[in-house]
């Protein structure tokens, strides 16, 4: 039990938190006041801590009958004005896909945490994996953009949860935060930032007279202001493809502009959405591209390689989707080789290869046995590249 | 224009491109009319009402009326409604579903919503069939009936939706038919005003799919059947089980006081604030 978290005297003092716990703190910092979830290893701690932290700040925790229901409740809460979140792992994430697609087409801000474990199916419930990277991108049916972030440390769990809420509110889209079993369960020192020191974004709401409100009308940002149930802007929300008023349409001249806007509202804000961490990349000849817990092993390996005279660098992806190709391409043009270590069979390396187009050599290092990739394994590859 | 028509027009979305999607003679329009009359009688403003629906013919009901409306995914309407209600308990959340929507794909959500006892109103339009997809059997298709996926006669037993709601713990359960339209008005009004999870099963007909395959005639014949088999709950109490066989009891089936979720949640918040404040 981590009841001391709410003790205000802890502010400014170091805490020893799991990644899972830090995500709760990040969510509360961002103003999350609604959580619906279903127990699943290795994400359960998020539900447990939310269950006693949220009521204390006047929020709502509810354990639903399954993950389908959790995702539905999160969308409902967001439509009624609350910042809402759920957390799960692979099997639950699969169940959420249907309503996740609804949140995409109806443009409902919300945050979905997936603490990844080994799959497919029940797989390796207590072991680490990065097997859901492509599912996070393409798990729903239909074409739509999505924002997916990946955290590697307790501190990143906090920061990226705040960031996930900010992006979701700003662009009216679900944002998926991927952690993995190691990131979720590792305890690390963290000093929680005081309120007001990190930016918190609220959705843009309509200010015009209600009779002028056209809920899905395009604008320069591509993100229409969002009416909240009960605030006087009555409108229709549907999972059907809709016109600017929210009513179902089958007209190509209405479908195409709508779908175009869904993509454009993300595409035209790449600079704001795509994030990486550059570590010793400036003069690097060999580049490690990693994310999540593997980035931690890579960080150490890069340093040890440098000690042995190998000019190695690390590009840690924070944003996985939309894939930050613009931040990667300058490196691909310059380095001799890239190593992509992943806890899957190459879900990001195939994207790197797609972007690479023969510019440099792309090597992969994969584990799917529920164990971490160690610094030694990465180092061994770096010195031989 | 008749008074009743004026009332309906007050709530319709005129900018929506009518005509609606329903077949001529469908019961959904009667349910929508009853819902509008009931809401009008409760006195809630349009802004206070959130009307949530699932997928299917009944699910299309939300688009036509000028409330906060939410047309969700198949079977999940109650889960969205749960989130809406918890995020803003002042809103009056009414959920409209079909029989397949609420008790097949949404069956799990339905029983848990009943057990949880949020202050929600669930209206289930039961026409014994999946109409929109072309007449496949649903959980309320009677044994032996014919459907697009039961051409030799249905081999499963049917749910009684109202009884399922009672057993699952709903605070208030009523059943009406689209033939008994004024009773349906009253039932929906009572369900909205009830504090707790209230279920209205509205027996309807799908002459296009169910009636045609089972040679039950058109909407007039199917509504006549509703009139003939329906028994008021007060009268049913004086009848023997043999007399009640193949009859449908209509009226208020259950009305009980149970702890309301939002009330319990308020107490939980106070307890949690007291516990953490005491440290």
Question: Are residues A20 and A143 located together in one domain of the fold?
Answer: yes
User: Is pLDDT of B279 > 70?
Assistant: no
Domain boundary among A175, A191, A207: A191
Domain-located, residue A231: no
The whole domain housing A303 covers: 277-383
On whether any CB of chain A is under 8 Å from the CB of B17, the answer is yes
Q: CB-based burial of residue A124 (10 Å sphere; 0-12 exposed, 13-18 middle, 19+ buried)?
A: middle
Which of A191, A224, A239 is the C-terminal boundary of a domain? A191
**Kind and range of the H or E element at A93?**
helix A90-106
Chain A interface test: which of B51, B71, B75, B87 (most A C-beta within 10 Å): B87
Query: Which CATH number covers residue A137?
Result: 3.40.50.970
A125 token code pair: 């419930």
Interatomic CA distance for residues A53 and A359, integer angstroms: 50
The DSSP bridge partners found for residue A279 are A314
Residue B194: pLDDT above 80?
yes
Count of domains observed in chain A: 2
Q: Residue A5: what pLDDT?
A: 52
If you average pLDDT over residues B225-243, what whole number do you get? 97
With 0-12 / 13-18 / 19 or more C-beta atoms within 10 angstroms meaning exposed / middle / buried, residue A8 is exposed
Q: Is residue A247 part of a domain?
A: no
Sign of CA dihedral A124, A293, A296, A48: negative
For residues A218 and A265, what is the distance between their CA atoms, to the nearest angstrom?
10
d(CA A251, CA A153): 47
Please list the ranges in chain A whose pLDDT falls under 50. 1-4, 8-9
Q: Compute CA A3 distance to the chain's CA centroid, rounded to the nearest angstrom.
A: 27
pLDDT tens per residue, range B91-134:
999 999 999 999 999 999 999 999 999 999 999 999 999 999 99
Say yes or no for a CB contact (<8 Å) between B279 and A7: yes
Q: Give the closest-approach CA distance of B249 to chain A in angstroms.
A: 31
Test mutation, B73, B79, B107, chain A, max A CBs within 10 A? B79
A235:B68 CB<8 A: yes
B139: nearest Cα among B124, B120, B123, B121: B124
Q: What is the pLDDT of residues B50-97, one digit of tens each?
A: 999 999 999 999 999 999 999 999 999 999 999 999 999 999 999 999
What is the distance of C-alpha A376 from the center of its chain? 28
Report the 3 state secondary structure along B174-233. EEEECCCHHHHHHHHHHHHHCCCCEEEEEECCCHHHHHHHCCCCCHHHHHHHHHHHEEEH
> What is the predicted pLDDT for the residue at B15?
74
Q: Which residues of B touch A79 (CB under 8 A)?
A: 70, 80, 83-84, 87
Q: Searching chain A, which residue's CA lies closest to the CA of residue B85?
A: A77
A176/A285 same-domain check: no
Calculate how close chain A gets to B200, using CA atoms only, in Å.
22
Which DSSP symbol is given to A98? H
- Enumerate the residues of chain B whose CB falls inside 8 A of the CB of residue A98: 73, 76
Residue whose C-alpha is closest to residue B131's, from B57, B66, B184: B57
CB contact under 8 A, B82 and A236: no
Task: Indicate yes or no: CB of A68 within 8 angstroms of CB of B269.
Answer: no
- CB-CB: which of A65, A68, A82 is closest to B87? A82
- Distance between CA A357 and CA A338 in Å, rounded? 13
* pLDDT at residue B88 in the model: 98
Three-class secondary structure of residue A11 per DSSP: coil
- At residue B275, the pLDDT reads 87
Q: ipTM strictly over 0.85?
A: yes
- Evaluate whether the domain defined by B3-277 bears CATH number 3.30.470.20: no
Q: Which residues contact A187 (CB under 8 A, 6 or more apart)?
A: A16, A17, A18, A154
So what's the pLDDT on residue A9?
46
pLDDT the model gives residue B5: 83
In the structure, what pLDDT confidence band is assigned to residue B4 with cuts at 50, 70 and 90? confident
The answer to whether position A246 is within a domain reads: no
Q: Cis bond leading into B19, ω under 30°? A: yes
Strands A361-366 and A337-342: parallel
Check whether residue A292 and residue A182 sit in a common domain: no
| pLDDT of res. A294 | 98
Contacts of B58 (CB under 8 A, 6+ apart): B28, B31, B96, B97, B98, B101, B125
* Chain B residues touching residue A75 (CB < 8 angstroms): 80, 83
Which of residues A191, A216, A238 is at a domain's end?
A: A191
Tokens of A182: 């190691």
Distance CA A333, CA A357 (A): 10
Total Cβ atoms within 10 A of residue A16: 11
Task: Establish if A281 belongs to a structural domain.
Answer: yes
Average pLDDT of chain B? 96
Other beta carbons less than 10 A from residue A253's beta carbon: 8
- Residue B81 forms contact with A (CB below 8 Å): yes
Q: What H or E segment, with its residue span, contains residue B235? A: helix B233-236
Is A165 part of a structural domain of the chain? yes
* Between residues B15 and B62, the one the model is more confident about: B62
d(CA B62, CA B59): 7
What is the per-residue pLDDT across A327-347, written as a single tens digit (0 to 9) for each? Answer: 999 999 999 999 999 999 999
Q: State whether A12 and A153 are in the same domain.
A: yes
The 10s digit of each residue's pLDDT in A78-131 is: 999 999 999 999 999 999 999 999 999 999 999 999 999 999 999 999 999 999
DSSP H or E run through B53:
strand B49-53
Do A230 and B50 lie within an 8 Å CB cutoff?
yes
Give phi and psi for B186, each to the nearest 5.
Answer: -65, -40
Nearest to B83 among A55, A84, A240 (CB): A84
Distance from CA of A211 to the nearest CA of B (A): 12
A292: CATH: 3.40.50.920
A172 within domain boundaries = yes
């Amino acid at each position: 039990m981590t009841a001391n978290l709410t003790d205000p005297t802890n502010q400014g003092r170091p805490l020893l938190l799991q990644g899972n716990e830090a995500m709760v703190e990040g969510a509360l910092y961002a103003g999350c006041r609604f959580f619906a979830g279903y127990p699943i290893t290795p994400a359960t701690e998020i539900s447990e801590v939310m269950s006693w932290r949220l009521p204390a700040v006047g929020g709502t925790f509810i354990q639903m009958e399954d993950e389908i229901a959790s995702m539905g409740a999160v969308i409902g809460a967001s439509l009624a004005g609350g910042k809402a979140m759920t957390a799960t792992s692979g099997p639950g994430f699969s169940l959420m896909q249907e309503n996740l697609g609804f949140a995409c087409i109806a443009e409902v801000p919300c945050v979905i945490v997936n603490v990844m474990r080994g799959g497919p199916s029940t797989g390796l419930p207590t072991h680490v994996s990065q097997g859901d990277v492509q599912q996070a991108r393409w798990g729903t049916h239909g074409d739509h953009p999505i924002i997916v972030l990946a955290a590697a440390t307790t501190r990143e769990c906090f920061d990226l949860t705040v960031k996930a809420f900010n992006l979701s509110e700003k662009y009216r889209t679900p944002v998926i935060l991927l952690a993995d079993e190691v990131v979720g369960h590792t305890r690390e020192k963290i000093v929680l930032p005081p309120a007001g020191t990190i930016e918190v974004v609220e959705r843009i709401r309509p200010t015009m007279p209600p009779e002028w409100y056209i809920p899905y009308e395009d604008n320069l940002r591509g993100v229409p202001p969002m009416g909240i149930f009960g605030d006087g802007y009555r409108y229709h929300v549907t999972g059907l493809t809709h016109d600017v008023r929210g009513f179902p349409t089958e007209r190509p001249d209405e479908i195409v502009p709508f779908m175009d806007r869904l993509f454009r509202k993300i595409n035209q804000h790449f600079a704001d959405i795509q994030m990486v961490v550059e570590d010793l990349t400036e003069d690097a000849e060999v580049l490690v591209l990693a994310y999540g817990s593997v980035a931690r092993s890579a960080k150490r390996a890069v340093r040890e390689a440098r000690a042995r005279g190998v000019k190695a660098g690390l590009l840690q992806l924070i944003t996985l989707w939309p894939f930050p190709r613009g931040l990667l391409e300058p490196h691909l043009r310059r380095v001799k080789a890239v190593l992509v270590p992943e806890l899957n069979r190459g879900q990001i390396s195939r994207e790197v290869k797609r972007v690479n187009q023969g510019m440099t050599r792309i090597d992969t290092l994969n584990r799917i046995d529920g164990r971490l990739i160690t610094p030694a394994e990465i180092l061994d590859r770096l010195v031989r590249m | 224009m008749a008074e009743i028509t004026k009332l309906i027009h007050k709530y319709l979305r005129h900018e929506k491109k009518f005509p609606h999607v329903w077949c001529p003679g469908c019961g959904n329009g009667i349910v929508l009319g009853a819902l509008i009359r009931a809401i009008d009688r409760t006195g809630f403003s349009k802004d206070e009402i959130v009307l949530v629906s699932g997928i299917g013919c009944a699910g299309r009901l939300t688009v036509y009326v000028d409330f906060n409306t939410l047309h969700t995914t198949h079977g999940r309407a109650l889960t969205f409604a749960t989130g809406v209600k918890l995020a803003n308990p002042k809103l009056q959340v009414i959920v409209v579903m079909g029989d397949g929507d609420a008790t097949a794909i949404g069956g799990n959500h339905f029983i848990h919503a009943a057990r949880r006892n949020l202050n929600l109103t669930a209206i289930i339009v039961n026409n014994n069939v999946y109409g929109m997809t072309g007449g496949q059997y649903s959980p309320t298709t009677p044994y032996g009936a014919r459907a697009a996926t039961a051409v030799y006669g249905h081999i499963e037993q049917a749910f009684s939706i109202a009884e399922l709601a009672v057993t699952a713990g709903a605070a208030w359960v009523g059943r009406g038919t689209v033939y008994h339209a004024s009773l349906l008005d009253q039932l929906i009004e009572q369900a909205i005003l009830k504090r707790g999870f209230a279920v209205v099963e509205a027996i309807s007909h799908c002459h296009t799919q169910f009636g045609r395959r089972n040679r039950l005639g058109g909407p007039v014949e199917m509504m006549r059947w509703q009139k003939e088999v329906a028994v008021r709950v007060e009268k049913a109490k004086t009848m023997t089980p043999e007399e009640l066989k193949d009859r449908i009891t209509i009226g208020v089936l259950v009305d009980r006081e149970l702890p309301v979720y939002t009330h319990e949640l308020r107490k939980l918040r106070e307890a949690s604030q007291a516990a953490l404040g005491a440290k």
